[in-house]
Structure 1
């Protein structure tokens, strides 16, 4: 059985949240893959970018890293408060704990930035939001990350990607790493990718 902790920081993007739920849901529902997603946040209800509220299953204080195989982190918008929780000491400690336990970390877009800030990606290859003259990639590089301008990058057990368009690709990659490539390809094909 694979357990995914999908962490929703304030101001997360719904387009980057839903692929983790859908890809794992298709795998479980249509192909009997024993994979489950648990949502978590700092508060029982987390407000996303564009003001969509999502009720989470667990609070950050209730998380036991050993219960999960992967941490999934959607990105979000600064003007909706994303970095207020994503850069918090508690969230950075959670990222470090997942990494220290050799758990998979999957991020979309600027979800890579708190992983970079945590120190987990120092000296590793990764990517993040690449448009608007690459200002977020420059920010990631300041954390000692070797920034690669590719859609999806996998290094040191961390998946990063460079914009919301890559969200499904990250979710499929996570599924494949937690199960196997055949399941990843089967679910991808079933979902029209």
Structure 2
């Protein structure tokens, strides 16, 4: 079984988290059955950007990186407190551990910023939220990433980044493809109506 850790910061964007739960879940139930997803946070309850609350299955201090095959990070809103958790050293250290192990790290939108802040994107290609005068892309560049502005999804070795919420399903499907196979990913896409 391939296990995906869905790392949620307080203030995460629900739609960006839900694509990972749905694509990995559809694969578990109707695809090749080889994936499962575990939600993880730094708090016992997390509030998403637009005020819906979830209870993660695990706390970040309970995570053993060796038990997981991939890390997924949705973005969120600064106004909802996203960066308070996403820039916390514990959050950043977990990202570093996944990268050191060469495991897949998939992010959507500003989910790339904590990856950048952790230092693992230094001199690597990446992207992040591309609107608002490129402010978030400038921040990513300040963390040492080579920001690719004109591609919706950028893959550099084991890290997938994307430039806004519209890319969410494509990122989740790419993660599934890398964890299973292109044929299985196509099967799940078809089952989901894509």
User: Which residue number in structure 2 is paired with residue 116 of structure 1?
Assistant: 116
Q: Equivalences for 1:131-142 in 2 at 5 Å? A: 131-142=131-142
Shift of 1:184: 1.1
Q: What is the distance in 2 between the residues matched to 1:32 and 1:88? A: 36
User: Which residue number in structure 1 is paired with residue 180 of structure 2?
Assistant: 179
Shift of 1:189: 2.0
Gap runs ≥5 in structure 1: none
Q: What is the distance in 1 between the residues matched to 2:63 and 2:144? A: 28
User: Which residue number in structure 2 is paired with residue 145 of structure 1?
Assistant: 145
Q: What is the distance in 2 between the residues matched to 1:125 and 1:86? A: 20
Q: What is the distance in 1 between the residues matched to 2:188 and 2:127? A: 25
TM-score by length of 2: 0.97
Runs of 4+ in 1 over 3 A off after TM superposition: none
Q: Equivalences for 1:146-165 in 2 at 5 Å? A: 146-149=146-149, 150-165=151-166
Gap runs ≥5 in structure 2: none
Q: What is the distance in 2 between the residues matched to 1:113 and 1:156? A: 17
Q: Equivalences for 1:13-162 in 2 at 5 Å? A: 13-149=13-149, 150-162=151-163
Deviations 1:41-70 (A, max 9, x none): 011211110111011100011000000000
Shift of 1:31: 2.1
Contact 1:121 1:156 in 2 (8 A): no
Q: What is the distance in 2 between the residues matched to 1:134 and 1:192? A: 33
TM-score by length of 1: 0.98
